[in-house]
Amino acid sequence: MDDLPITKQDMRKRGWTQPDFVYVIGDAYVDHPSFGPAIISRVLETNGYKVAILAQPDWKKPETVTEFGKPRLGFLVSAGNMDSMVNHYTVSKKRRNTDAYTPGGVSGKRPDYATIVYCSLIRQMYKDVPIVIGGIEASLRRLAHYDYWSNKLKKSILLDSGADLLIYGMGELAVVEIADSLQSGLSIRDITFVQGTVYKTRDRDSVYDGIVLPDYPALQQNKLEYAKSFAIQYKNTDPFLAKPLIEPYGARQYVVQNPPARPLTVQEMDDIYELPYMRNYHPVYEKAGGIPAASEMRFSLTSNRGCFGGCNFCALTFHQGRSLQSRSHESLLREAVWMTKDAAFKGYIHDVGGPTANFRAPACDKQMEHGACPNRQCLFPSPCRNLRADHSDYVELLRKLRHLPGVKKVFIRSGIRFDYVLADSDDTFLKELCRYHISGQLRVAPEHVTDRVLRLMGKPDNHIYQKFVKRFEQVNRQLGMKQYLVPYLMSSHPGSGLTDAVALAEYIRDLGYMPEQVQDFYPTPSTISTCMYYTGVDPRTMEPVYIPANPHEKAMQRALIQYRRPENYDLVREALLKAGRSDLIGFDKKCLITPRKIKEEGTARKNQARKRPHGKQGNGRNRRLPKTKK
């Protein structure tokens, strides 16, 4: 077992003269199944293909993509585990100082819009080589999409990149089918039949039973047309129900999205996660300090993928889908045993989860045969009557893991759905979670307290969270433990006005907890919330939604969540006055801030006294200066 080649010298050591695929990635090379490029490359390898990894090439030098020469079958391109723009910029569009996926956490090792730039480099050096793009950046930009950083609607990344084919979703099934098709001699232009892919065509009639979306010029001219298009896309994310989507781009140019790839079976999931990964970053990065993102992942277990939670600000519906896919206990236990044999393992499994830790099975029995309901969510606005809320399998798995020799503690750090916990009539999971799997604090994501905003977020009403808080506290009292909930809260989500932000601040006041970090809503590609942000309507109902897009208002909403910070005083005061809540400025215990005027007057008097001439100082009486002799 060894790392895949990252240099020509590595390739020659393996006795290769030419790789089948060169995989260009925006991250450093980490051969661990928590990193998408590692999974794709190992899946291809186990199917007999030679894959060389070109990690973080210098995008200012086109010749860097020629490190391994021309690949026999084609280039694969991924921006990495994150969209490159999210990786580079905060929600206020300020450049981030670090990059957790780069050696030593150094920023600036990948370009903006990395997928497009890497494809451009390849096209400059190899005009006719097939290029297949994938990863989260390509997946969420596969059709026309709103780009927050340029503040405009962009074309499908398949067109802007010049690539031949796009894989969306997790991609294991699609990439092998594409590789086998290329191996058989099929032209990349003729590979139009693979589920979970997007391709270009000039022949609209070749697409059977497809849904034609509004054309790109219409989307540019009318934001409501984009909202309608997005609603159609959202209803076609299920592999059992989705139809091909056709997005026209002018005369005789179409981008076609095939239905998603089918869900993996338990055996397929097991096989993928038990491939011969090195389970760490490449040794070449050691001198630079390693890869920060790898440290937490190294001793974490991926239990599942997919999420039927349906939060509107989350892109998982578009990327992994709503169909839950899980690994077997035996597979997870084998991986955990491998961890215990690692010299760096200290006895702590950092996580056992996925997008949502406490989901281990499809939401209901019909989903894996008939698909997820296109017009109904499983948990929102209330749990579906067909929902199977059952933690017994997860509880059994966690028990097995924590009893392994060498394991001191098993943490759960992936998010849990508290409404799903409450939907389960058996409290065993919550009790064992509190007793064994957290250490003083449990992070949960109520996100907000105003029901109107929560509904636009796709989150349960506030009273559901409050019910969970009481149950959590009750369980901890029964166990004789003092543990606390740490809520994740979001400001400036579509629908949230200053009055909603003030209500959130009042909740924090009553909680007695001041969040160290606040998540300002970040409009990332292909979420319902981002569509609201861009269009001003809910794409499912076409009803208008208030959008707090003004940077100053966003700053005020964010400051209210951290109202105790002195540097936020002016913003908080302004927000309270604009919201008509001057009653929260005062000395009562319910007030958020005290009047600054009293403090300012006292400070001003002191400063003024310091500036007076010597003869004007003292106890208020003017002193005469002694006369000087002439």
Digit-coded pLDDT (tens) for 289-333: 999 999 889 999 999 999 999 899 999 888 999 999 999 999 999
Q: Are residues 507 and 552 in the same domain?
A: yes
Question: Residue range 177-187: average pLDDT?
Answer: 98
State the total domains in the chain.
Answer: 3
The verdict on 103 and 209 lying in the same domain is: yes
Looking at the structure, do residues 390 and 524 belong to the same domain, yes or no? no
- Measured CA to CA, the distance from residue 624 to residue 54 in angstroms comes to 83
Residue 211 is assigned to a structural domain of this protein: yes
Q: Which pLDDT belongs to residue 455?
A: 96
Strand pairing category for 325-326 and 441-447: unpaired
Shared domain check, 404 and 491? no
Q: What pLDDT is recorded for position 605?
A: 53
pLDDT at residue 608, rounded to an integer: 59
The reported pLDDT for the residue numbered 298 is 93
Q: Are residues 398 and 311 in the same domain?
A: yes
Sign, Cα dihedral of 370, 375, 377, 378: negative
Residues 420 and 452 in one domain: no
Integer angstrom CA distances of residue 592 from 53, 227, 357, 503, 589: 54, 39, 36, 11, 8
Domain boundary among 439, 461, 483: 439
Do 372 and 225 lie in one domain? The reply is no
* Mean pLDDT taken over the chain: 93
The pLDDT of 367-375, averaged and rounded, is 86
Interval 470-511: pLDDT, tens: 999 999 999 999 999 999 999 999 999 999 999 999 999 998
Check whether 366 has a pLDDT greater than 80: yes
Same domain, 457 and 530: yes
* 108: in domain: yes
Distances from the Cα of 335 to the Cα of 39, 304, 338, 341, angstroms? 15, 14, 5, 10
pLDDT higher than 60, residue 34: yes
Evaluate whether residue 362 is within a structural domain: yes
Residue 242 has pLDDT above 50, yes or no: yes
The domain that holds 587 is classified in CATH as: 3.30.750.200
Does one domain contain both 83 and 225?
yes
Indicate the pLDDT class of residue 251, thresholds 50, 70 and 90: confident
- Same domain for 496 and 412, yes or no, is no
- Confidence at residue 540, expressed as pLDDT on a 0 to 100 scale: 93
Question: Strand 30-31 and strand 280-281: pairing?
Answer: antiparallel
- The model's confidence at residue 523, banded by pLDDT at 50, 70 and 90, is very high
Q: What is the pLDDT of residues 426-455, one digit of tens each?
A: 999 999 999 999 999 999 999 999 999 999
Taking every pair of Cα atoms in the chain, the longest distance, rounded to a whole number of angstroms, is: 112
Query: What CATH number is attached to the domain comprising 97?
Result: 3.40.50.280
Report which of residues 264 and 369 the model is more confident about: 264
Same-domain check for residues 510 and 480? yes
pLDDT score at 194: 98
Over residues 72-93, mean pLDDT: 97
Q: What is the pLDDT of residue 512?
A: 84
Tokens of 528: 């319902």
Q: What's the confidence (pLDDT) of residue 511?
A: 86
Neighbours of 512 (CB within 10 A): 6
Share of the chain above pLDDT 90, in %: 89
Supply the range of the domain harboring residue 376: 299-439
Q: Strand 211-212 relative to strand 245-248: parallel, antiparallel, unpaired?
A: parallel
**What is the band of 515 on the pLDDT scale with cuts at 50, 70, 90?**
confident
604 or 89, greater pLDDT: 89
Query: Which amino acid is present at 325?
Result: Q
| Domain annotation covers residue 625 | no
Does the pLDDT of residue 590 top 80, yes or no? yes
Distance from C-alpha of 42 to C-alpha of 305, rounded to nearest angstrom: 18
For residue 606, what pLDDT is reported? 53
**More confident: 59 or 251:** 59
Given this model, what pLDDT does residue 622 score? 38
Does 532 have pLDDT greater than 80? yes
